[in-house]
Amino acid sequence: MAFDGRSTPVGRYDALRDAKRAVLSVDAAQSAKPRSSRTRRVFERAAAVTGIVAGGVALTAGAVAPYL
């Protein structure tokens, strides 16, 4: 639950008690299951490529901006 600038609850539940009641169970063993090293490598490579592309787009936008 979060509050906006006027202390109005923002979210699905108005009170923490209601939110806790809505949660039936959480399987801690499954949520803490480690990913395989291959999966981790794939995600790291995808994150690196995404960062490089984002940096390239930012540099291109900065280089082209004076000509607009």
Q: In this structure, is the dihedral angle defined by the CA atoms of residues 3, 7, 8 and 9, taken in order, positive or negative?
A: positive
The per-residue pLDDT for 30 is 58
Domain with 40 in it: 2-67
User: Are the C-beta atoms of residues 22 and 13 closer than 8 Å to each other?
Assistant: yes
What confidence score (pLDDT) does residue 14 get? Answer: 73
CA distance 40 to 58: 27
The structural domain count of the chain equals: 1
> Rounded to whole angstroms, how far apart are CA atoms 67 and 13?
50
Residues 9-68: tens digit of each pLDDT: 667 777 777 777 767 766 666 566 677 888 889 999 999 999 999 999 999 999 999 988
pLDDT at 9: 61
Residue 28 amino acid letter:
A
